Amino acid sequence: MQAQAKFDLNRAREALRWIYAVLGTDHEEIKDQLDFSALLKDGVTICELINALQPGTVKKINTMKAPFKQRENVEMFLKGCEAYGLKSQDLFQVNDLYEHKNLYMVVDCIYALGGMAQKKGFPGPQIGVKVADENRREFTQEQLAESNRIIGLQYGSNKGASQAGMTAYGTTRQILPD
């Protein structure tokens, strides 16, 4: 129930539009998440997608309707995504798609794949957020040592404060007349 609640039909439709735009084919409109998974379950479309982004990633796409061949297609797609640069947390499990379990993960994976395609300069349609390039910085030892002399504002200043005149924790308050 929670996985179904996370599934966003509009995001799924957008992901399918992107897939079919990259492949240059017509797409079918979906009504619910079962339609979404039915279109991608055999793995043929997503294998063609990864091959369009990086030719030769999936050497042989199985067209047999046998379940183990369809699962193999999905597995090859996932391996292709990893080789393309996606991190393991961006991927879904074969059962997520094949058994209609966490279809939101499939949609998220497609968006992540679209972001990686933008980073790699794919000239076609775009979806998702472009993956940022690394911005590594190099500091000399002198620059690093200089940072030790700065007292950040978050440390504050006590301006000579002390605990003189404070009572111990738990002691009753003493009110003395002047």
- pLDDT band per the 50, 70, 90 thresholds, residue 33: confident
- Taking only the tens place, the pLDDT of each residue in 38-88 is 888 898 999 999 999 999 989 998 888 898 999 999 999 999 999 999 999
- Residue at 36 is within a domain: yes
Looking at residues 163-178, what average pLDDT do you find? 72
What is the residue-averaged pLDDT of the chain? 84
Residue range 90-103: mean pLDDT, rounded:
88
For residue 156, is it within any domain? no
Judge if pTM exceeds 0.75: no
Q: Does any domain span residue 14?
A: yes
The CATH number of residue 106's host domain is 1.10.418.10
Residue 54 lies in a domain: yes
Q: How high is the pLDDT of residue 136?
A: 84
Q: Do 19 and 49 touch, CB atoms closer than 8 A?
A: yes
Q: What is the pLDDT of residue 87?
A: 92
Residue/partner pairs of 106-114 with CB below 8 Å, 24 or more apart: 106/36, 106/37, 106/40, 107/7, 107/8, 107/11, 107/12, 107/15, 107/36, 109/81, 110/15, 110/18, 110/19, 111/11, 111/15, 112/86, 113/49, 113/50, 113/53, 113/81, 113/84, 113/86, 114/18
Split into its structural domains, the chain has a count of 1
**77 and 54 Cβ atoms separated by less than 8 Å:** no
161 found inside a domain: no
Q: Which of the four pLDDT bands, split at 50, 70 and 90, describes residue 14?
A: very high
**Structural domain for 23, as ranges:** 4-120
Residue 20 within any structural domain of the chain? yes
pLDDT of residue 154: 59
Ordered DSSP codes for 27-72: ----SSHHHHHHHHTTSHHHHHHHHHHSTTSSS-------HHHHHH
* Assigned domain for 166 exists: no
**C-beta separation of 83 from 53 below 8 A:** no
pLDDT band at 7 (very low <50, low <70, confident <90, very high): confident
Domain contains 55? yes
